[in-house]
Amino acid sequence: MRIALVSMPWAIFNRPSIQLGTLKAFLREGEENVAVRTLHPYLDAALSIGPDSYRTVCANGWAGEALFAGLLFPERYDRAAEVFHRSLGKKVSRSLPPFDMLTARLDRQLDDWLARHDFSDCALAGFSVCFNQLAASLLAAARLKKINPGLPVVFGGSSCAPDLAPALLEVFPQIDYVIAGEGETPLSGLCRFLAGRAGSPGNGVFRRTGKTVELPAAYRPGCCQIADPDQLPLPDYDDYFNELRSSGLNVIPGLPVEFSRGCWWNKCAFCNLNLQWRGYRSKSSRRMLDEVEHLRNRHRCLDFFFTDNCLPPAEARRFFSTLARSDMDLHFFGEIRPLRKPDDYALYRRGGLNSVQVGIEAFSDSLLQKMNKGVTAMDNIAALKYCAENNIRLDGNLILEFPASSEQEVEETLHCLDFVLPFQPLKAAAFFLGHSSPIWCRPAEYEIRAIHPHPFNRMLYPENILARLRMLVEYGIGERRHQKALWRPVRKKMKAWEAFHRGRRSSPPPLTYREGGDFIIIRQERPGGQPVLHHRLNGPSRAVYLACRRPIPKKDLLRHCPSVTDKQLDAFLDDLESKRLLFRSSDRVLALAVRQPHTL
């Protein structure tokens, strides 16, 4: 039995698909009579429109969906073009080839790709449908069915969460099966069913019989999950590398790896990233080390990208601690929450973690509570500092226009932005309503009066189709206009933050100190072309400032520096806070300058 597994645009083209690689390895190990080939047409798409254009579109989900939606629904082509331009903005869209040219190239590329690959010997074609891959996968499946009408097609992935799956089958005739949730065991059962070795596809597989959608009799979310991820086989990326060599694309890929499934926190009010999982499971550090070593040796790559929603703290600490003792220049990207132990940032960096996404989201304590983030503004600012201190590139978002935000929370955010200027700018992310997120489940608590399809989806999909679909991104009706106006000053200030860093020419970080034994000298760059300032702190002042390298309560500062009175300490902290050299929140204090790195 032969099956083909496909990953469409807009997967990142300089990475293999971890979904396809993991599924292929699982079936190869568990199903003796199943031969799997994985296909990555996103490589062809990158060649077709150019790698730079592909990267730009890939970074903007709506733009990518619009390109394929315009081909999938020709009657909505003009509206798809409007979504494309509006989502990118005038400046970015002008840097790309015209919408008509991009769709023409993608249209031709898809037909050429289908003509080059023979699916006539396949018993099943599977599409991994994650974020920004739905329209492309629907179009490819429809054209594949025209060529091979009897070929069963299965969809799976994060866009096929359990309560979204039935609608996909009801609306789109090119789909025969949908796997909702974790895919390894259900796909294995579907293969046995199609080979005549089982009486039904088994749990986790939805199918259409005639005009009705059939749910597994004993189905419940999470029923088919792998209990111990250490038992999963190593991902198989060989097909991707064969295609890459044939493509002529000149890239050394980064390899996706998976430490855990789910999220160990999983409480954020806006998040719907874990609809396909039930519970949190992680691999052991020993298994993760073996996996990285195997992939490094086999594919001769040094860059790795953890696909986790959140790295497991204890096992990640053991993993990076082991790698810190090696002599290899491995680089890792991972998503983390602000770490509880500041020294872990240095440990992670020595182990190769040079790029992270930290779930910052807000700089207001009360807003962070509404979001159920479990951290404070001080924790978030400290995370920015620790990453700068350890030369870890930090990517993160600040969510603007969050429902039920108050004027005071906006003012708190503006206040904090004055202090984070020296650190890597965050991206301004307008709030979106994720299907089945806690906010979606309890809209009234967040002043959302009604939930409708997202305006962009209303432009991309015909009304009769969208009325029957459930999409991952929806639209909450409430005080959106008020929130947009409320957050406008924050958006403006974040643009200035980004411009400050974009215009810098000097190599040291913007706010650093140098140690002088019994004094320190702080160097401070300022925005707007203002002269660089230097501050010298002597004796007790030096001792107080260095004691604040980590957030510290004021009472502990007084104990740490017994020669300083309470009145003197307040005056000193007030002075440094006014100069933006330290940050205070409640009773805690954090010095913001990082030690200037040594240069040869």
| Interval 334-343: pLDDT, tens | 999 999 888 9
Q: How far apart are CA 525 and CA 533, in angstroms?
A: 7
- The list of the chain residues with pLDDT below 70 reads 217-218, 221, 598-600
- Our measurement of the distance from residue 481's CA atom to the centroid of its chain's CA atoms, rounded to an integer in Å, reads 27
Residue 3's pLDDT is what? 97
Cis before 277? omega within 30: no
Q: How far apart are CA 508 and CA 492, in angstroms?
A: 26
Residue 598's pLDDT is what? 65
| Interval 226-277: pLDDT, tens | 999 999 999 999 999 999 999 999 999 999 999 999 999 999 999 998 887 8
Residue 599's pLDDT is what? 53
| Dihedral sign (CA 301, 304, 307, 312) | positive
Residue 521: helix, strand or coil by DSSP?
Answer: strand
| Interval 144-168: pLDDT, tens | 999 999 999 999 999 988 888 889 9
The reported pTM is: 0.94
Query: DSSP assignment, residue 215?
Result: P
Q: Quick check: 144 and 153 in contact, CB under 8 A?
A: yes
Query: DSSP assignment, residue 450?
Result: E
Q: How far apart are CA 22 and CA 233, in angstroms?
A: 7
Phi, psi dihedrals of residue 36, rounded to the nearest 5°: -115, 135
Q: Quick check: 76 and 55 in contact, CB under 8 A?
A: no
**What does 284-353 look like in DSSP terms, one character per residue?**
-HHHHHHHHHHHHHHH---EEEE--SS--HHHHHHHHHHHHTS----EEEEEEPPPSSTHHHHHHHHTTE
Residue 600's pLDDT is what? 42
**What does 409-444 look like in DSSP terms, one character per residue?**
HHHHHHHHHHHSTTSPPPEEEE--EETTSHHHHSGG
* H or E stretch covering 523: strand 519-524
Please state the length of the chain: 600
Going by their DSSP bridges, the two strands 511-515 and 519-524 should be labelled as antiparallel
**Helices 99-116/41-49 angle, 10° precision:** 140
Burial pattern 295-325, b for ≥16 Cβ within 10 A else e, equals bbeebebebbbbbbbbbbeebbbbbbeebee
